[in-house]
Every structure is written in structure tokens, then in C-alpha cells.
Structure 1
Amino acid sequence: MDLISQGDALLEMPLQTGEHARLFTAARFSGLECLSAKFSTHTYSPHAHETYAVGTILEGCELWHARGRKLFARTGDLVFNHPLDVHDGAPSEGGYRYRMTYPTIELMREVAISLTGDQTIGTPFFPEPTVQDPEGSALFSKAHRALEEGGDALAGEEGLLRAYGWCLSRHADLSVREIGREHGPISQARELLEQRYDEDLSLADLTQRSGLPRHHLIRAFRRETGLTPHAYLVDVRVRRARERLRRGESPGAVAAATGFCDQAHLTRAFKARLGVTPGVFRAAHHG
């Protein structure tokens, strides 16, 4: 069986009207391949990858074969293929829509080590190729969509690591340990977010400052503060936006100055935390 990339797998058969497939890469994961697709007739020939395939079904049902079994992946299911697992794929009646990623063994081990504390852990194993997990599906889909849209790089990077952590801790053969307190390192990470809130920070920036690995940092940060690093960063940006709006700056200028992708992103984050839009807040001080 030849090992092929997901792009090559898609090229084996042309898509029909109403179908679509978008393959993109995640730069902060060393070119990790990600797929967003909708199929009604497209079928995959049996093939295997050198990487995992981890994803979710958003709508419909996929019929596939893997590990000597006939399988059905339905809406809200998480799907796991190990490296070198031979598998195919075909739509059931009505087709299906899904999101998929192809993480390396090294990436999955990075997350597994963070969860277990075991530096000698081998290739993580998922006993079941597909599991019904609507909450995990929603977490994965949100992260995947953030990576695809590309506006807030930290949101996608953090989100995908959290999604992989969810999958491994709940559906792989791992013994997960409780996260300890990391007050000193997390204080360093918080300080960086407070100082450079207007920049496009990455988890690499935070790990360099704190000395903690990426996924461990996310878990420890949330235990220490109640927020993930990205959520904390957005909160800092909103606080800085309030200061500028009080001084009479326009919402558009404030969005650009505080690290938001655009005014719409500022408006969503601002209203979610304060209950009013930036324009209304500014008018209350400068009506």
C-alpha cells in the first residue's frame, strides 16, 4: 500500500457539482495539513498516511473501512486513524461534511507527554476509530475553523492543541495526571501578554518566556487564571480598548491599536465582556 498525502488522495477522483474540498496548512504546526470538505459522490480508494488523521463529521454520514471493520461516522463523531492505518471513505445517502487534520506522531506525542508526564510514551493509540462526542466535535471544529480563517493565529494554535488534548485524554489509552500549580512560569507568561497585547503572539513566545511546553502551558495557565492564554490576551485587549475609547478614540483606530484583526472582532469581544458595543461605550463618555 502506497503512502500518500491527503492532497494526492483528493486528486484520485474529480469532484462533482455541489462538492468542495479545501486543503490548507497550519504554519504554527510546521505545515500541518488540514482539510475542510463536503462530499456527496466522492469516494476515497484504500490508502494510508504516515501521519494520524484526526477530525470530525459536521453533517451527514461517512461510510468507511479501517482496522478490518466497516464503520459509520455520523454528525458529532470524532474520527481517528493511526499512522499506516489503511482506510477508505465514501458518502452514505445524502453525503457528509467534515473537517480533518493530519498531525505527525511527534505532535501527538507532544500533547500526550503534557497530559501524562511520561517522556518515554510511544505512539498514542485510540482503541475506537470513531466515537460520538458532540462537545469534542464542537471544540475541534472551532479550532479548525480558526486555522482556516487565519485571522487570529493564537486562537487556532491554542484551540487545536486543546482539541488534541481533549481527544487524547478521553479517547486514547493514556493515564492522564492532574496539572500542578505553576505560579512563577504563568506569571511570566501573563506579564508577556500584558506587555505585548497588540502583537501577533504565538505559544512559542509564551513558552520561551515561561519555560513550559505548549500544551502544558495552556493547562497550567487555565488552572492558575481561569482562562486560556488566548482568552486572557483578548481580555487584556478589551481592557486596553476601554482606556482608549474613554479618551475618545474611534472604534476602528482602537481595534488596530489593541491587536484585534478588525473592528468587527473588537466589537464581538467587547460586547461579550461589557454588554455594549465600543461605539456605545465611547458615546457614553463623549456624547
Structure 2
Amino acid sequence: MKDRIELWHDSEVLGGIDLLRAECRTCRYDAHAHDAFVIAAFRAGAQKYSIAGARGVTSPGTVMIIPPGEVHTGERAARDGGWIYSALYPSAAALDRLSSELFTAPHGGLDLGTTFLIEDEALAQTLLSAVDVAARSAEAMRRQEAIGRALALLVRRHGRSTRPLAPRRLVPAPIQRGIDYIMGNLDRRLAIAEVAIQVGLSEFHVMRLFKARTGMTVHQYVVHRRLEAARAALARGIPPAEAAARYGFYDQSHFTGHFRRAFGTTPRRYADACR
């Protein structure tokens, strides 16, 4: 049986959110990260995952929470198996806004803990149902209510208010300069040597620090940032060919290959499904 993956952007929910429904039989997600949270609920089967170096296996009725920027992978847990799941990708700002309305105490920020996998069948079913509604309903209000209720249940059951705001994990200044340089040059080919010049360190030192601080190689990080930028452009209505050229992919097939490996679908299918 083939993989069936639906990934789309809904601009009318929470200021814009990506949503996914998937039946994975053979797909394998290479190491990547997202700018938003990943909130995934598992309906059937088992996925073997690695998140920020932590490894485990999902089961039906579990919920996975991956904070923005955490590098993760996913593949089938059994050779002849697969897994069925749905996922929501809310921004940290959207979840903070939601939690500020739910917590009555002075609110500094939302803390969803450090456990990537939660056993909560009721929450999993609510999340799965919400994504199903979002996939088939043409009424924006109904989609907004379904997603809002599901995420509110997540926050009430597993979130807590922090005060003051939890400190952000700071990236050392040299690597931050490299990241800033990459972000400003996504439209062209980059070499580690030029990133190293911006950072003021040797190429070897840059490669070692990048892996230690971001969880990705320099090349993986560049591809990740290009894919995130291109995906946002597709959601705004930019044609796939233009998005590929704008963000440094050599040609359409190169772009499509990377997009499929990261997100399980093609740029065209994603663009066509966006609302």
C-alpha cells in the first residue's frame, strides 16, 4: 500500500497554521526541524522517532509534542508496519496567546514540559477529530473552533504558565553570525568557507559548532531554512517554480525531492491544498 499524505496551510485558523493527515507505510523523515510546534496524534501503527537525541516508539492514543527548532526524524517501527497520524503546526506565539486566555494567574509564557511523547488517548482523539474537521469543512468558523478546542485541551491538561518567561536557549555569537549570513543568502549557492569567513573561525570549527549547537550539519541547516522559507511562500500563493528559484534550489526536481523527504508530499500538492 502506498503512503497517503495530506499537508496544507490554513490561513484562517490561528493566524495561519499547517495541518497534516498521513498514512505512512514506507516514508521516512530525514533529520529536520520546524519553526513552529509539532503536535502529532497517533491513530494506528507505530512510528520510531528521534527527537533532540531522544529515541522512542509511538503507539495509538499517544500525543507527540516537538518544540520549534528541535531536530527530529521518523520512520516505521516494524519492517512490515507503518503508522497513521495527524499533526498540527501552531506557532509558539499562537499557543502563547491561547494559554494567556486559559491561565488566570499572571502569565509569562507557556511551558509544555520536556516529555516529547504523552499517553493521553482522549487528547489524541480530540486532536485527530479536529484535523479531520479542518480537512473536510469549508466553513472557516467550524475549523477555527475545532482546532481551538483541541489545542485548548492540550494546554489545560499538559501546559503550565511560567513567570517570568523561561529564558531562551541562546546560540553562541559566532554561530549566530553564521546563521544570520545563511538567512540573508538563501537565494544562492553557499559554501562552508564563506560562512566560516563571516564567523571568523576555521571551516572545521564551524562544522563542529554547527552540529553541536543546532543538531544539524551546515548543509542540513541550509536546506532546512530554504524549505521552511519556500513552504511559507507556497502558502502565500507563490508558484512552486518561483519558490524553488527564490530560495536556492537548482531546479524543480531538486526542490521537489527535498520537499518530499522533509514533508512527505510535493510542493505542488501542498500549494494546491492551502486555503
TM category (shorter chain) comes to 0.5 to 0.7
Q: How far apart are the structure 1 equivalents of 2:106 and 2:130? A: 26
1:47 aligned to 16, 25, 32, which one?
32
2:43 paired residue number = 58
2:117 paired residue number = 130
- Conserved 8 A contact 1:108-1:124: no
1:172 paired residue number = 159
Task: Please tell me whether residue 146 in structure 1 is matched to residue 133 in structure 2.
Answer: yes
Q: How far apart are the structure 2 equivalents of 1:22 and 1:126? A: 29
- Conserved 8 A contact 1:139-1:163: yes
1:103 paired residue number = 90
Q: How far apart are the structure 2 equivalents of 1:160 and 1:126? A: 21
How much does 1:67 deviate?
3.1
Q: How far apart are the structure 1 equivalents of 2:143 and 2:125? A: 14
Matched position secondary structure for 2:35: coil
How much does 1:118 deviate?
5.2
How much does 1:47 deviate?
1.0
1:85 paired residue number = 70
Amino acid at match of 2:159: A
Amino acid at match of 2:33: A
Structure 1 runs not aligned, ≥5 long: 1-16, 176-287
Amino acid at match of 1:81: I
2:12 aligned to 28, 31, 56, which one?
28
How much does 1:123 deviate?
4.7
Amino acid at match of 1:107: A
1:73 aligned to 55, 58, 73, which one?
58
Cα distance per residue 1:238-283 (max 9 Å; x no partner) = xxxxxxxxxxxxxxxxxxxxxxxxxxxxxxxxxxxxxxxxxxxxxx
Matches within 5 A, 1:174-253: 174=161
When residues 127 and 174 of structure 1 are mapped into structure 2, their CA distance, relative to the original with a 3 A threshold, is: farther
- Conserved 8 A contact 1:143-1:155: no
Q: Matched residues, percent identical?
A: 19
How much does 1:135 deviate?
0.8
Matched position secondary structure for 1:28: coil
- Conserved 8 A contact 1:146-1:152: no
Amino acid at match of 2:71: V
- Conserved 8 A contact 1:63-1:73: yes
- Conserved 8 A contact 2:107-2:161: no
2:221 paired residue number = none
How much does 1:119 deviate?
6.2
- Conserved 8 A contact 1:51-1:103: yes
- With a CA cutoff of 8 Å and minimum separation of 6, indicate the structure with the bigger relative contact order: 2
Q: How far apart are the structure 2 equivalents of 1:119 and 1:106? A: 17
- Conserved 8 A contact 2:108-2:161: no
How much does 1:26 deviate?
1.8
How much does 1:28 deviate?
1.7
How much does 1:129 deviate?
0.7
How much does 1:159 deviate?
1.5
Root mean square deviation of aligned Cα: 1.8
- Conserved 8 A contact 1:34-1:100: yes
Q: How far apart are the structure 2 equivalents of 1:139 and 1:120? A: 26
Q: How far apart are the structure 2 equivalents of 1:134 and 1:40? A: 23
Q: How far apart are the structure 2 equivalents of 1:118 and 1:173? A: 10
Amino acid at match of 1:142: S
Q: How far apart are the structure 1 equivalents of 2:56 and 2:92? A: 24
- Conserved 8 A contact 2:109-2:161: no
- Conserved 8 A contact 1:109-1:124: no
Larger CA Rg, structure 1 vs 2: 1
- Conserved 8 A contact 1:57-1:75: yes
Task: Please tell me whether residue 37 in structure 1 is matched to residue 22 in structure 2.
Answer: yes
- For normalisation by structure 1, the TM-score amounts to 0.52
When residues 97 and 31 of structure 1 are mapped into structure 2, their CA distance, relative to the original with a 3 A threshold, is: same
